[in-house]
Structure 1
Amino acid sequence: MDELTQRLSAGTHPVEVGGPQPSLEDLRRRFEDLGYVFIKFTGTQGGTDLGVRLDRDASGLGTADFERASGVVHVEGTLVLNEDPVRCVADIDLATLSGTGRLVAG
Structure 2
Amino acid sequence: MNDLVQRLSAEDRPVVVGGPDPSLSELHRRLTDIGYVFVRFPDTRGGTDLGVRVDEAATDLGRADFAAGTGTVHVEGTLTLDFVPVRCVADIDLASLSGTGRLVAREEVSAG
TM-score (norm 2): 0.93
Q: Hey, what's the Cα distance between the residues in 2 that align with 1:67 and 1:21? A: 18
Aligned twin of 1:51: 51
5+ residue gaps, structure 2: 107-112
Aligned twin of 2:62: 62
The amino acid across from 1:89 in the alignment is V
5+ residue gaps, structure 1: none
Aligned twin of 1:102: 102
**1:49 aligns to what SS in structure 2?**
strand
Q: Hey, what's the Cα distance between the residues in 1 that align with 2:10 and 2:26? A: 29
Aligned twin of 2:86: 86
Aligned twin of 1:33: 33
**2:7 aligns to what SS in structure 1?**
helix
Q: Hey, what's the Cα distance between the residues in 2 that align with 1:90 and 1:104? A: 11
Q: Hey, what's the Cα distance between the residues in 1 that align with 2:94 and 2:62? A: 11
Q: Is the radius of gyration larger for structure 1 or structure 2?
A: 2
**1:71 aligns to what SS in structure 2?**
strand
- Please identify runs of 4+ aligned residues in structure 1 that moved more than 3 A: none
> C-alpha offsets along residues 44-92 of structure 1, whole Å, 9 cap, x if unaligned?
0111000000000000102100000000011000000000000000000
**1:9 aligns to what SS in structure 2?**
helix
* CA RMSD in angstroms, aligned pairs only: 0.5
